[in-house]
Amino acid sequence: MRRITADVAVDVTMYCRDLDGHRYELDTVLGYSRSDAFAVTMTFGDVEPLVTWTFGRDLLMRGITHPTGEGDVRICPSLDDDGTAIVQIELCSPDGHLLLEVRTDEVTAFIGRTVDVCPPGVEAEHLDVDQMITQLLSI
């Protein structure tokens, strides 16, 4: 796995299914940085260049227990073939569609670590507005 710069970075194994239903492992790093306190990242480590998806931490938190999300990222709780609690994460882009599965306990542990770094409700205190403006202007 490559090193990801974040306040919290957790290696997890996600699973995806192809159109024939075959299940494949996908090494992933879940990341969280106080500097982007409203977001989490998923970086897939088996591809070059690295592919990173960024979406709301609150979306992931809600998706552990309730179906949530619209558009590019949808998350819902489920059970795998063995009855183990999992979280399904559906990613959609103009380039394709991917349905991921990850154990709920791994996501819950990751979320717990992010809450230790920045409790929900205080994310705005960590925003660097000047940095955000600089990033927007550089696009």
Confidence of residue 125 (pLDDT cuts 50, 70, 90): low
Lookup: tokens for 20: 């024939």
Q: Mark out the alpha helices in the chain (DSSP H runs).
A: 57-63, 104-117, 129-137
Beta bridge partners of 56: 39
Structure confidence by residue, pLDDT tens digits, 77-105: 999 989 999 999 999 988 888 899 999 99
Query: The whole model's pTM is what?
Result: 0.82
Residue 47's CB is within 10 A of a number of other CB atoms, namely 10
- The secondary element (H helix, E strand) that includes residue 72 is none
Check residue 126 and report its DSSP letter: G
Share of the chain above pLDDT 90, in %: 54
> In this structure, what are the phi and psi dihedrals at residue 94, rounded to the nearest 5 degrees?
-60, -20
> In this structure, what are the phi and psi dihedrals at residue 112, rounded to the nearest 5 degrees?
-60, -40
Structure confidence by residue, pLDDT tens digits, 13-47: 999 977 787 889 999 999 998 888 889 999 987 66
- Domains annotated for the chain, with CATH where assigned, are 8-137 (2.30.31.20)
